């Protein structure tokens, strides 16, 4: 796995992103590592906001920032030409540059030249460790929980982090296992699973969640969705390599089509659970679904409670929004940990 020691605190770069789900790295760091974030930086006044102070790179450096994190993840993972002048300004202001994009920072000539001139670092966290191989398929000791979803970018990371936090509150030995750039930045380590050569994804999942003590849990951050035509490959490799004992299905209220492909509907939740369990049984016949994690961020508290209760009645399993603590979340945690 990658173990990172990154220059902190961060200035979060949002650029010109107007859709919050494509700025999930910035929002994830704001929510799970707020003590490491001094502000946000944009190149367009219409960009979404994390609610942190908007700063220029120079202002952020004066406020104590040591690096700027590219906090967006657009389709394709490329660095937009419109961002480059501001990224160069960050290097010139004395900030290192951290990216989880598919595009390597040093491959952008302007950034490479500015880093060389200023002596600042270009840090790519979406780089898998060397020496990965195909999986073995062997059963490993300890327990594993994998968050899976009806689509991309709807709460798998937040669910995994929330469940990890709840397990710790109960004194359960647990590790959060990051598989994406945001999770890696939060946890300080992990494997960017979508940057791994396809044949080695299952092997990377085995490395990420190794054999552990009998009562230990690895809570693995899911990626993509087996129901998304563009990203199902990485999701299936992670599912088979993790060999989860427990899955938690994730869905967002109102998400009727998969991200970026409006002609492809999201599956209904019973179908999603049934097919995911069928696929997961290939490497762990005893796998079970503990419940549903429902993203109700578009609803007020009363509306969320109503939807959670209705889904619980329909599905007959625990249903919770992990960002709304209470009895529902406690029931989901109980179901995850039951023998």
C-alpha radius of gyration, the chain, whole number: 20
Mean pLDDT over 127-139 rounds to 93
Whether 143-337 and 2-124 are alike in CATH topology: the answer is yes
CB 21 within 8 A of CB 75: no
Q: Which ranges constitute the DSSP H helices of the chain?
A: 24-32, 57-62, 84-92, 109-118, 156-169, 181-187, 201-208, 232-242, 269-280, 301-315, 327-337
Q: How far apart are CA 274 and CA 128, in angstroms?
A: 31
pLDDT (tens digit per residue) in 36-77: 999 999 999 999 999 999 999 999 999 999 999 999 987 767
pTM, 2 dp: 0.91
Are 283 and 243 in contact by the 8 Å Cβ rule? The answer is yes
Residue 256 vs residues 263, 266, 287: alpha-carbon distances, Å = 10, 5, 27
CATH superfamily, with its number, for domain 2-124: NAD(P)-binding Rossmann-like Domain (3.40.50.720)
Average pLDDT for 155-177: 97
Name the phi and psi angles at 135, rounded to 5: -70, 165
Q: Where are the domains of the chain?
A: 2-124, 143-337
Mean pLDDT across the chain, nearest whole number?
A: 95
pLDDT digits (tens, 9 = 90+) for 79-105: 889 999 999 999 999 999 999 888 899
CATH class of the domain defined by 143-337: alpha beta
């Amino acid at each position: 796995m990658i173990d990172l020691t990154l220059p902190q605190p961060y200035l979060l770069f949002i650029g010109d992103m107007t859709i919050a789900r494509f700025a999930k790295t910035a929002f994830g760091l704001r929510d799970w590592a707020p003590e490491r974030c001094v502000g946000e930086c944009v190149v367009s006044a219409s960009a979404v906001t994390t609610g942190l102070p908007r700063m220029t790179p120079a202002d952020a450096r004066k406020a104590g920032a040591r690096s700027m994190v590219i906090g967006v993840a657009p389709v394709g993972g490329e660095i937009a030409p419109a961002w480059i002048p501001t990224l160069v300004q960050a290097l010139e202001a004395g900030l290192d540059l951290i990216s989880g994009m598919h595009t390597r920072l040093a491959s952008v000539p302007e950034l490479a030249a500015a880093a060389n001139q200023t002596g600042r670092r270009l840090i790519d966290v979406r780089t898998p460790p060397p020496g990965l191989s195909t999986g073995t398929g062997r059963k490993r000791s300890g327990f594993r929980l994998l968050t899976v979803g009806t689509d991309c970018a709807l709460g798998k990371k937040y669910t995994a982090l929330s469940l990890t936090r709840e397990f710790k509150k109960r004194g359960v030995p647990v590790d959060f296992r990051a598989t994406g750039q945001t999770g890696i930045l939060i946890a300080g380590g992990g494997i960017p699973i979508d940057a791994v050569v396809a044949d080695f994804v299952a092997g990377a999942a085995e490395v990420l969640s190794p054999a552990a003590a009998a009562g230990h849990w690895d809570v693995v951050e899911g990626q993509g969705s087996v129901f998304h035509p563009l990203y199902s490959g990485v999701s299936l490799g992670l599912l088979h390599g993790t060999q989860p004992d427990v899955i938690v299905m994730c869905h967002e209220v109102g998400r009727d089509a998969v991200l970026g492909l409006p002609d492809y509907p999201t599956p209904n939740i019973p179908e999603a659970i049934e097919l995911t369990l069928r696929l997961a049984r290939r490497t762990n016949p005893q796998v079970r679904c503990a419940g549903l994690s429902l993203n109700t961020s578009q609803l007020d508290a009363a509306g969320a409670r109503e939807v959670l209760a209705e889904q619980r009645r329909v599905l007959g399993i625990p249903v919770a929004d992990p960002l709304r603590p209470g009895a529902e979340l406690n029931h989901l945690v109980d179901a995850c940990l039951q023998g």
